[in-house]
Amino acid sequence: MAEAKILKAPGMAKCIGCYSCMLACARVIHNDYSPRRSAIQIRSTGGLQSSFLAVICRGCLKPACAEACPAEALVERPGGGVIFKKDLCTGCRKCVAACSVEAIFFDEDEKKPIVCIQCGTCTRYCPHQVITMEVRND
């Protein structure tokens, strides 16, 4: 069985802020055209010589979001990250508060968190290979 991969952003210096990754996640995974419904968020660092940063799930081995979920809607994924069982989610937002890198967003319309499932869809649409799926080496 292949080792599980997690999302990484090793090439942020090459990011042009096209948001293709966000749009791909929103469209393919969350069936929406709004980048706000993406589990990856690209943001400008601001200033005259602005660059971009990626707010992404780090694929924790012991995810605090899963520990905080009272409904067991988030469970540990082998190799890092979580599996999201949407039908079990009560929308309590405890996972959002528990994420140390603030990479879980909340869909106010559906009253459910927007959680990265480490599928790699975003990486396939990045024109500069800024984000990748990699085997954990730590």
Q: Each residue of 68-86: pLDDT tens digit?
A: 999 999 999 999 999 999 9
Would you state the pLDDT for residue 110? 94
Instruction: Tell me the pTM.
Output: 0.90
Q: pLDDT tens string for the chain (138 positions)?
A: 568 899 999 999 999 999 999 999 999 999 999 999 999 999 999 887 889 999 999 999 999 999 999 999 999 999 999 999 999 999 999 999 999 999 999 999 999 999 999 999 999 999 999 999 999 877
Q: How far apart (Å, rounded) are the C-alpha atoms in residues 9 and 52?
A: 11
Cα pseudo-dihedral 53, 57, 63, 64, rounded to 10: 50
Q: How far apart (Å, rounded) are the C-alpha atoms in residues 81 and 66?
A: 9
Domain ranges within the chain, ordered by starting residue:
4-136
Would you state the pLDDT for residue 47? 81
Q: Each residue of 44-64: pLDDT tens digit?
A: 998 878 899 999 999 999 999
Rg (CA), the chain: 15
Q: Closest by alpha carbon to 22, among 32, 12, 13?
A: 32
What is the CATH class of 4-136? alpha beta
